[in-house]
Structure 1
Amino acid sequence: MASTLDEESATKPVLVNEEDPLTEERLGLVREVGAQAVWSLSSCKPGFGVERLRDNIMDTYWQSDGQLPHLVNIQFHKRTNISQIFIYTDYKLDESYTPSRISIRSGTNFNDLQELQVIDLTEPNGWVQIPIKDGNVKSLRTFMLQIAVISNHQNGRDTHMRQIRVHAPCGGKGKHYPLELFGKFGTVDFQKFSTIR
C-alpha cells in the first residue's frame, strides 16, 4: 500500500446520483450484499455506530471518534463479487464532518489489503457511486472491503457517513425480470421473486 499519493493516482470519481441506488436493485440489475457481511468500524461515538450505516434512514449517521484515517471494514463469509459501493453523504448538514478523500481497499483480511482507488469528493450531497473493477472485469471477487476516510472537508477531524450500500452484479443461470412486472412485489424484501428458475 502506497504511503504517499500523487495527484494522478487519485481517481476522478464518482457519480453523485439523483436516483436512489435501490432503483438498480428493483430492476434486478444488482443485489445488495452488505447484509451478508460482518461490519466493523475503527471508532464511533456512542449511539452513532455501524447500525446507523445500515438502517436505510438518511437522517442518521455514523460518527467516528478518533484520529484519521477512519475505517469501515466489510468482511464477507465467502469470496463475493462486488461491482459498486454507494455512500450517502450530506455536505449541507455535515460540513467539516463530510469526507473529502476516500480510499477503497480490498483483500482477504486486514493483513493483505490493497488499495484499489482513491476518490476525491467536493462537497458531495446525496448518493456517491463508486464503481469497483478488477482490471477489465466489471466486478471484483473479494473477502473484505475497507472504506478509509483519509481526510474531511475543512480539515475536520471526525467524519459522518449516513448510509453505505454494497452491490453485487446479478448473474447466474436465471433470467432477471424488472420487479415492476410483479405489481405489489416491487419492494426489496420481495426481490427474491424477481428470478424465474
Structure 2
Amino acid sequence: MEPLEVVFHLRTPVALGFPWINFDALLAHVRLKEELGERYYALPTKVPMGGAPDVPIKRWRDVPVASVSIFEPEPELQLFQFFKRGDLPFPKGKVSRARGFFKDFYLRVAYAPVQRVRFYCTGEREEVERLCRKVPALGKERNIGFGFIRRVEVREVEQEWGLVKDGAAMRPIPVRYLKRWEDAAYLAYKPPYWSKRSVDLCAVPFTRVELAE
C-alpha cells in the first residue's frame, strides 16, 4: 500500500450535513453499491449487514489511515433555501400544497462554495483510483445539483498523512491512542459511522495531536 493524495475537482458547491466527509466511508459507499447492484435502490429498509464493506485502505490499530475532507479554498459556509415537492400522482381538482398529504417542504442546506476537496490515505492505488472514478458527486443534496465532480486526481506522496499531518489530526482518532491532544469530542472514528459502537472520545480533526508509540 502506498501513501496517496486524492483531489476531487468540483463543478458545483458541496452541500454539507456534517463538517467533513470521511474518505474511507466514501469508498465503502461505492463498494456497497457494487455489491448490491440494483437492490441498493429498491430495498424498502436498510440492508442487514455484519459490518461495512472492505475498502483498500490501511488500518492503524482499528483506525482507517484515511483523512477527512479538506476543502479548498477554505470555505465560508452559505445557506441555500428551497421547496421540496413530493414526486406524487396528483388527483384531479384542487389540492393544498401548504398542508396535508401533498404539502411542500421548505428546506435549508448549508453549502461550501469550494473548487476542490482533498483527501489523504494509505491504500492500494489502483483500487482507490477505480473506486474514486465511480463517485459522481460529493456531500448532500446531490440530486439537485450539489457536489458534482469535474475530475479526480490520485497521486503518491512522500509520507503517510491519512492520520496526522504537520502535527494535526487528519481524522477522528481515539484519545486512548494518543500521547497528547488539543481538543476532544465523542465522534465516530471507524465504519460503520452510523453505529454507536463506532463512537469514542476522539481528537477533533485539524487539532494538534501526538500519537502514542
The TM-score, its normalising length taken from structure 2, stands at: 0.24
Task: Give the structure with the higher percent strand.
Answer: 1
Q: Which structure has the larger Rg over C-alpha atoms? A: 2
TM-score with structure 1 setting the length: 0.26
